[in-house]
Structure 1
Amino acid sequence: MPAEVALVAIGANLPREDGAGPHETCRWAVGRLGAIPGLRVVAVSSWWESAPIPPDPRSPPYVNGVARLEGEATPEGLLAALHAIEDEAGRARPFPNAPRVLDLDLIDLGGRVLAGPAPILPHPRAAERAFVLRPLAEVAPGWVHPVLGRPVEALIAALPPQEIGRLAGE
């Protein structure tokens, strides 16, 4: 049986308790993703900076990227592993769309379509967000949204304007 591909969006916009900034936290998270049993990180996108969605003038910009993992995982097991990494980083969930130390979203797992309860696959808002699609296109060019049937490049072309740019040196 061939290895499955998992696409995980990585984002952060607050420092961790140890003072590590969002960019450092995102890189740290990639290392933790590589420690998930049965999976290996095979590609990591550039790092991007984006404005919060929905807009929040009190919230700092996010650092975002996408990791491509290959191996064997169940959707529920992988989601639990992602939540454990977020918890290890010190993520709090005070209210929806709150600024965060770390956000790991399971975007796709082998093209599965799951309505929930959790995880919902593909991620329900991935096709609307440049901060997911632009880095995803780097690690999975030609990826086709399992529900919409559209390639990532077409999804990017259809996005409304969003504040996003590649971080310097990426």
Structure 2
Amino acid sequence: MGVESALVAIGANLPRAGGGGPIETCRWALERLGAIPRMRVAAVSSWWESAPIPPDPNSPPFVNGVALLEGETTPEALLAALHAIEDEAGRQRPYPNAPRVLDLDLIDLGGRVREAPGPVLPHPRAHLRAFVLKPLAEVAPGWVHPVLKAPVAALVADVEDQAIRRLDSAPGGGA
């Protein structure tokens, strides 16, 4: 196990109990990511606002970003740490794609490709989501999808029709 880079998508669209709105929850999660043993936050994207996918008129917009982590970990250990942060935030999973207090997705870990056991790497839907790709392009502009062999810029071009807007231009900054 050596030093690796991990791309973690951060998203929220419901307030956290006692923690303010979704952007505050995303910032809170970023602090927790920095506390994962043997990992450090190397870069953080801007925060973005996006419509839920699939569309849900009863769901508020999401705040999204991507953090680039570096350090020593395994896919299982990192996924367990992400789930622990989600649980600490009060994440509920009542049904697929439900509105959520916090969503942390492991997008890529050192370019690994794996289907089983979980986590699946790279994330199986990351290449279809502007809310992942646009912030990912900010922190890892040279990233190439390990399965599709497509650079992030080409993947971003494929999702230009998805509703998303930058909330700020400072990495991890305020709206």
Please classify the TM superposition score into its range, dividing by the shorter chain length: over 0.9
Superposition CA RMSD, Å: 1.2
Gaps spanning 5+ residues in structure 1: where? none
Match of 1:39 in 2: 39
Match of 2:28 in 1: 28
CA distance in 2, matches of 1:2, 1:101: 33
CA distance in 2, matches of 1:43, 1:97: 27
Match of 1:72 in 2: 72
Post-superposition shift, 1:168?
Answer: 4.4
Large movers: runs of 4+ above 3 Å? none
Post-superposition shift, 1:117?
Answer: 3.2
Report sequence identity in percent: 76
Letter in 1 for 2:30: V
Count matched residues.
Answer: 170
Deviations 1:88-107 (A, max 9, x none): 00000000000000000000
**SS class of match (1:153):** helix
Deviations 1:10-47 (A, max 9, x none): 00000011141100000010100000001000100000
**SS class of match (1:10):** strand
CA distance in 2, matches of 1:132, 1:32: 19
Gaps spanning 5+ residues in structure 2: where? 171-175
**SS class of match (1:29):** helix
CA distance in 2, matches of 1:2, 1:90: 32
Post-superposition shift, 1:116?
Answer: 2.3
Give the TM-score taking structure 2 as reference length. Answer: 0.94
CA distance in 2, matches of 1:45, 1:108: 15
